Amino acid sequence: MNVIPQKVIVVGGGIAGLNCARHLLIRGYTVQVLEATRRIGGRIKTDRQHGFLLDRGFQVLQTAYPEAQSALDYARLDLCCFAPGAMIRIGGRFYTVADPRRRPGHVFSTLAAPIGSLGDRLRLLRFTRRVVGGSLARIFEAPEQTSMEMLRSEGFSETMIQRFFVPFFGGVCLDPQIQASSRVLAYVLRMFASGEAALPAEGMAQIPAQLARDLPDDCIRTGVRVRAVAADGVRLEDGTRLPAHAVVVATEAPETERLLGRRVKTRSIAETCIYFACRRQRWHPPFLVLNGDGRGPINNLVFPNVVAEGYAPAERSLVGAVVLDAPDRPGPDLAGRVQAQLVEWFGAQAAGWEHLRTYRIAHALPDQSPPTRNPTRPLTMAVPGLFVCGEYGRLPGTQWALVSGRQAAESAGDYLRSVQARGRP
């Protein structure tokens, strides 16, 4: 029998689409990735400016993500890790709070930090121990409530919630009200407790670049926006129709809803990340900095080159300030207000720090408040021949984007095999 190679179009060149394409190629299909912007990577991009590496929005790779462990070559990414803990700014001082198992040397400073009672710290240890055990899927089968409700019902004090969980977990979900599902909180704590938060030495964009390295040159087309999708092909913005045997939509959730002709229900959460350059700072160990006071625009702060040296040229440091959307935070001259807070924290020298760039990412993450779906379960076929991956109907994050890409490729492969077995091309 003369078998025609089956072609699959993947709409979106973020890590979900790229991982899907890799798995389709492994299964022997012809793949075309169509990416609307000029560069692959979606929400994981790095710009170079005056010798600095600027990730478009501060983010990290958790080395404990199970799917990242199998999809990525960590050694080639040359991962550089944050220290397991944080510096927390409270009442005019920085306090070091570290994981006592991995940083026993910081146990006294951790105990001395005014982030709650001894009972709070023991509760956190017990809670973390609970979420680290058992399967990952179990976390997403547990009953859920908002993280704020769960922390209160677990007995955490308001001090611990406001000074630690709000800047830490609010920074992860970009949600200062910490309304994300308690399942997400359990999952995030499990990832932080079982691995490291890391940056590739050459910037976060090395992650999609590594996935794309497995794809043939003609597999990816950039600068091509898809206007409409169907099981048998796509229509581009310029009206061109491209036929395919199956189509995978791998876009951000609101765009996926639009392409599938569904009502756009996803609530987008925005983030602003503002970068400054300064003379090389001594900031050791490489902890993330959290705002435990809740005052001012900054939620968290990072010195990326303290973790991965290549983020800044010699003798200089890069400072990234993350601002979450909250009623008091947007407004005019945000960079100026962030710099004023840096002066408060680091003294008059910070007034001379050079503003490099401000990134405002309107759809950084989707809202993760309950109810959430179990992201370990495949949810890939919209209609026969039309598949979905990415955060739509699941959860956001590198782990789930990679999982969903693989699952969509598996489902598309099953579908194409069954179509072929019935005698159609």
Ligand X SMILES: Cc1cc2nc3c(=O)[nH]c(=O)nc-3n(C[C@H](O)[C@H](O)[C@H](O)COP(=O)(O)OP(=O)(O)OC[C@H]3O[C@@H](n4cnc5c(N)ncnc54)[C@H](O)[C@@H]3O)c2cc1C
Footprint on this chain of ligand X (rule: CB under 6 A): 11-17, 34-37, 42-44, 57, 59-60, 225-226, 250-252, 255, 271, 361, 364-365, 390-391, 396-398, 401
CB of 350 to ligand X, least distance (A): 23
Shortest distance (Å) from residue 46 CB to ligand X: 12
CA distances to 25, 291, 314, 348, 357 from 327, in Å: 47, 17, 39, 28, 23
Q: Which is nearer to ligand X, 16 or 113 (CB)?
A: 16
Nearest approach in angstroms of CB 334 to ligand X is 15
Which CB atom, from 193 or from 364, has the smaller least distance to ligand X? 364
Helix ranges (DSSP H) in 78-181: 107-112, 118-132, 136-139, 147-153, 158-160, 166-173
Q: In the complex with ligand X, which residue's Cβ is closer, 90 or 323?
A: 323
Residue 32 or 59: the one with the smaller Cβ distance to ligand X is: 59
Q: How far is the CB of 317 from ligand X (least distance, A)?
A: 21
Give, for 355, the enclosing helix (H) or strand (E): strand 354-366
Report the C-alpha gap between 179 and 177 in whole angstroms.
6
Cβ-based nearer residue to ligand X, 121 or 363: 363
Element (H, E) at 418: helix 398-421
Whole-number Å distance between alpha carbons of 218 and 234: 18
Token digits of residue 41: 């990577």
- Could you give the CA distance from residue 299 to residue 322 in angstroms, rounded to a whole number? 6
Look at residues 286, 247, 265, 181 and name the one whose alpha carbon lies nearest to residue 386: 247
Residue 144's beta-bridge partner residues? none
385: nearest Cα among 406, 413, 407: 413
Cβ of residue 389: shortest distance to ligand X, in angstroms?
7
Residue with Cβ nearer ligand X (43 or 123): 43
Q: Is the peptide bond before 370 cis (omega within 30 degrees of 0)?
A: no
Which residues lie across from 277 on neighbouring strands? 318, 354
DSSP-derived secondary structure letter, 352: G
Q: Least distance from C-beta 299 to ligand X, angstroms?
A: 12
Tell me the two tokens of residue 266: 């996803």
Which residue lies nearer to ligand X by CB, 24 or 226? 226
Instruction: Give the shortest CB-39-to-ligand X separation in angstroms.
Output: 8
Nearer to ligand X, 198 or 350 (CB): 198
Q: Which is nearer to ligand X, 100 or 254 (CB)?
A: 254
Angle in degrees, 0-180, between the axes of helices 182-194 and 118-132, rounded to the nearest 10: 90
| Shortest distance in whole angstroms from residue 13 CB to ligand X | 5
Instruction: Identify whether the C-beta of residue 275 lies closer than 8 Å to the C-beta of residue 353.
Output: no
Query: Minimum distance from CB of 180 to ligand X (Å)?
Result: 13
Q: How far is the CB of 368 from ligand X (least distance, A)?
A: 11
Nearest to 185 by CA among 395, 40, 412, 418: 395
Give how far the C-alpha of residue 254 lies from the chain's centroid of Cα atoms, to the nearest Å. Answer: 17
Nearer to ligand X, 195 or 390 (CB): 390
